[in-house]
Structure 1
């Protein structure tokens, strides 16, 4: 099974509107991430652009449609299309979400939360085993941003992820913004969450922005909106985390209200500065 092996550098999510500027000059970017579902067609401009980028940069393919957490069987047609994309581009990393997004023939276009129970655990392990076997490569599983908790949950999220890693050999994609969003929404300590997280399995980190609103009860609610720069509390958590575990490949996610290329690139440069600082400190 091919293991995830992104360079220990900062990357960004690729947006087609940035292609011309990216292609004009070499960029201070370690890798690009794309959503697998955008490249499941046979050809056209999306593949032409990605093929060109792939010549010069490492690649992370991020899935949003497998519905790993569904209690129904995986969609084999979708899984086959995903394998075609991975075989075509040989990415350094493939990842998906700890979530579900489909039921029967209905695709909900959202990443929905799960109760953390033994039944859910067994089903996710079964699905990850199927995905890794079909693709012939390790997948990374991303921790979710959540807005509610299930009364029937019997396993803490970090323990749930640890057991998935133990049973499947998958890696983890640690989204630091998701940790901050979920912890704030549930009035928990994000640092305590990260202290319990199985960091030995982390192969990639995501950073993104979030927005604030007020819920019906008048309480602060954070939304994983991916439409702003990374916020200061998330940068602080990220710096503390790398100080503890060392450099990790880090992606800047900015999928809504996408800025001009220099703005997005500057976020990646900031992440790279943290990675370089930690690497130098650990080498001293």
Structure 2
């Protein structure tokens, strides 16, 4: 793999403050990822810019609102809007989360955790299959960051995620920062988590920064996406590449958004690591 090949694997999250920059400079990155729900209005100026950017570079659609863990199913209107967006921009990847965020018509600002039970597994798989049937392509399901656990959970998160993939044929978006954060918060073993994931099912990796917060009860790590990728997460990325080879990789930064040049520097770091640790594998492109 040479530098031009490696360049194509590395992307950054496209956020509204950077639309103008990447419309003029799309050639500076291999691909871009948008939050799907921000582009559900096809006549907005932002939508026009996204179409212009898509003509120059690959774009993936990362959902934050399907609420795949909702007991009432996935909103049909939401699916229709996602279908229209997919039809218009032909994204390279479409993803959402192992979480829920809606109940009874009430929407929450957070991606909320599931109880990891057989009942929740069946429900989640049903919803994933519903969406995949509608959009006629596989979803990538992302592992969450979490700050609490349900006492009645009976399945480890990594086994739950793998079971979703086997049951639905979906693909996986492996967020290494989320693994790092959740493993600290819940005293999991990151190596055990990663060992349970079939690398052949992983089509994308997310890298991001997090925040340490001290409470009376102790320290908690929060997946804020507001800082550079931590050294520990870079190390997990190196390990993954060394064992399994290159895969589409995204730098996420959602709060305290820096200048685009900062994102591109993080992307360049990912590219250099990819070149150093994944030269002898057949890659999965975005």
Shorter-chain TM-score category?
A: over 0.9
Alpha-carbon offset, residue 280 of structure 1:
2.3
Query: Where does 1:152-231 land on structure 2 (aligned, <5 Å)?
Result: 152-217=152-217, 219-231=218-230
The superposition leaves residues 29-85 of structure 1 with CA deviations (integer Å, 9 ceiling, x where unpaired) of: 111000111111121211111111101111110111110011112111111111111
Runs of 4+ off more than 3 Å: 23-28
8 Å contact from structure 1 (residues 8, 250) kept in 2: no
Instruction: Tell me by how many angstroms 1:214 deviates.
Output: 1.5
Counterpart for residue 18 of structure 1:
18
Number of the residue aligned with 2:271: 272
Q: Give the Å deviation of 1:143.
A: 0.3
Q: Matched residue pairs, number?
A: 276
Q: Normalised by the size of structure 1, how large is the TM-score?
A: 0.93
How far off its partner does 1:22 sit?
Answer: 2.5
Distance between the aligned counterparts of 1:240 and 1:28, measured in 2? 27
1:43 matched residue in structure 2: 43
Counterpart of 1:147 in structure 2 is 147
Corresponding position of 1:3:
none
Q: Secondary structure at the match of 1:59?
A: strand
Q: How does 1:99-178 map to 2 (within 5 A)?
A: 99-178=99-178
Distance 1:253 1:119 in 2: 32
Gaps of 5+ in 1: 1-6
Question: How far off its partner does 1:24 sit?
Answer: 3.2
Q: Please tell me the root mean square deviation across aligned C-alpha atoms, in Å.
A: 1.5
User: Given the superposition, is the C-alpha separation of residues 24 and 168 from structure 1 closer, same or farther in structure 2, using an over 3 Å criterion?
Assistant: same
Match of 1:60 in 2: 60
SS in structure 1 opposite 2:233?
A: helix
Superposition deviation, residue 282 in structure 1: 4.7
